[in-house]
Structure 1
Amino acid sequence: MHHNRGPATPTVLRRSNGRYVPVEAAVDPVELAFEVALVKLDASDLIVVGDSIVQRGLLTITEIDEIAASYPPRIRAAVRRINGFAESGTETLVRLWLEEMRIPFVQQFMFRDSQRADFLLGRGLILEVDSVAHHASREQQQKDYNRDQYLRGLGYVVFRVTYDDVMRNWKFASEQLMLIIQRGEHLKIPAFRRGAR
């Protein structure tokens, strides 16, 4: 999942009214920046950017759809995959992989005590995606460790991947995740839920 980007080149957008709009400012309005993303980024990077924009409340899904409405079908298809649930770019990349592999999941799964996990795969496999920004401190790592213990105590299988796993070691990490799925561990109902069928 490693992405290489070449040198930046100036972008000029042609609006539907035929006028050209040069991108000149150091910080463009988010609508214009997203429009540049529509023409410059590949589908997965566009979805990552779109998820981030929606998650941060900078634009809504409706606004993003409206901006993309006059673009070619392949771009609109990518835009339709933006959901705004991901709290990091790596989480979006993992979601796209899960969709590609046709692995059923719930994103931002709510479990006991109103806590959230990044993904629930099947009925009993929690997949957590740690970004660099939110999981770098010792304190946050300890919270993650304690949460994993809590989830295991409830009967979930927990699989945690780091930024480096997603961006540099995805082949290995995804193979390990697939081994768990192939054994059917994701289908096991956690012990605390068995009585609540």
Structure 2
Amino acid sequence: MTPTEALSQLGGRATWSQLRRVTTERALSRAVREGSVVKVGRGRYVLPSVVGHRQAAARHTAVLSHLSAAVEHGWAVKWPPTRPWLTVPRKRKISHRGLEVTYRDLSERERARGVTGFVRTVVDCARKLPFDEALAIADSALRAGDVTRDQLEAAARAANGPGATRVRRVVEAADGRAANPFESVLRAIALGVPGLEARPQVQIADAGCFATVDLGDVRRRLAIEAESFAHHGQRDQLVRDCRRYTELATCGWTLLRFTWNDVMRRPAWVAWAIAACVAVQDGQPRPLPPREHGRAVAG
């Protein structure tokens, strides 16, 4: 995997140790020399577009907000922003060309720092972004310890106007136990499957089986795993997981495994696969798979 691809999957910002799990040191050094990756501090790397967002905010005397603010805070996102998200005071007008602009009153602290605060950033993203993208950001903010559940719940109760219902839905589902946006997006998909009660990082101690799975419905004995190349990059990790999956099957657990590409780029197929498994467990007809480009997806 190239450093640029790795950074994109990690949300546009990553540490040296995160990148070294999926790419080589030589490739990372070359990417920095060529400018496709920018080193912004000791062991910290970003995509060039992320650097440009801070410059755009300064140029327009605005503050970074929404998706750009999430990346600025160091949170992992589903997709790095392709254009700067800026917020400016209500009475000032700027050109929207190449920008995502919001007009709103700003606090002195936000103007001084040039970025919206932690809680406001989570709420802003919940209002504007698709559910899965907003959930990944809320999960990451909780995981980083930058916000607490109490803070988010208070903000959700206070939310009103357009998008308030979306804010409450994201906050209700947010969980800092998700390890990364990959797991967050997979959970967002699973939350849309009727009859499924999947929780993140479920610990299983059942009939001699001991394991922790990315998502699990204990009542259904259904485990759902987000399978990343980085996690299985070493032979011993692959062997350990194969044994774990086999043991779960012997204990009566059904295991569904999904790749990053399918979760991020084929969510309809992932949702169908989970729903089909639930239907079979309930003795219901298996739903037809989704269609892509006019052809049924076989999986």
Question: What's the CA shift string for 1:48-87, capped at 9, x where partnerless?
Answer: 2111221333321002223445432322343233233322
> Do structure 1's residue 30 and structure 2's residue 30 form an aligned pair?
no
* Within-5 A mapping of 1:10-159: 10-12=86-88, 20-21=106-107, 22=110, 25=113, 30-31=118-119, 33-34=121-122, 36-38=124-126, 40-72=128-160, 73-74=164-165, 75-107=167-199, 108-112=201-205, 115-121=211-217, 122-131=219-228, 133-159=230-256
Aligned length: 182
Is the Cα–Cα contact under 8 Å of residues 129 and 160 in structure 1 kept in the other structure? yes
* Within-5 A mapping of 1:159-174: 159-174=256-271
Give 5+ residue unaligned stretches, structure 2: 1-77, 91-103, 284-299
Aligned partner of 1:9 in structure 2 is 85
For 1:23 and 1:7, the matched residues in 2 are separated by 20
Question: What's the CA shift string for 1:125-154, capped at 9, x where partnerless?
Answer: 211123455454444333322211221222
TM-score, normalisation: structure 1 = 0.70
- The code of the aligned residue for 1:86 comes to A
Structure possessing the higher radius of gyration over alpha carbons: 2
Secondary structure at 2:85 match in 1: coil
Is the Cα–Cα contact under 8 Å of residues 12 and 23 in structure 1 kept in the other structure? no
Structure 1 pair 176/41, CA: closer, same or farther in 2 (3 Å)?
closer
Question: Higher helix proportion, which one?
Answer: 1
For 1:109 and 1:177, the matched residues in 2 are separated by 17
- The code of the aligned residue for 2:132 comes to S
Aligned partner of 1:190 in structure 2 is none
For 2:214 and 2:239, the matched residues in 1 are separated by 17
Question: What's the CA shift string for 1:153-186, capped at 9, x where partnerless?
Answer: 2222211112112012333333333333322289
Aligned partner of 1:191 in structure 2 is none
For 1:13 and 1:126, the matched residues in 2 are separated by 47
TM superposition shift of 1:29: 5.4
Identity %: 21
Secondary structure at 1:120 match in 2: strand
RMSD of the TM alignment (CA)? 3.4
For 1:178 and 1:132, the matched residues in 2 are separated by 25
Structure 1 pair 169/58, CA: closer, same or farther in 2 (3 Å)?
same
Secondary structure at 2:257 match in 1: strand
Question: What's the CA shift string for 1:24-59, capped at 9, x where partnerless?
Answer: 647775345435535553333222211122133332
For 2:236 and 2:154, the matched residues in 1 are separated by 42
For 2:189 and 2:126, the matched residues in 1 are separated by 21
Aligned partner of 2:62 in structure 1 is none
Structure 1 pair 177/61, CA: closer, same or farther in 2 (3 Å)?
same
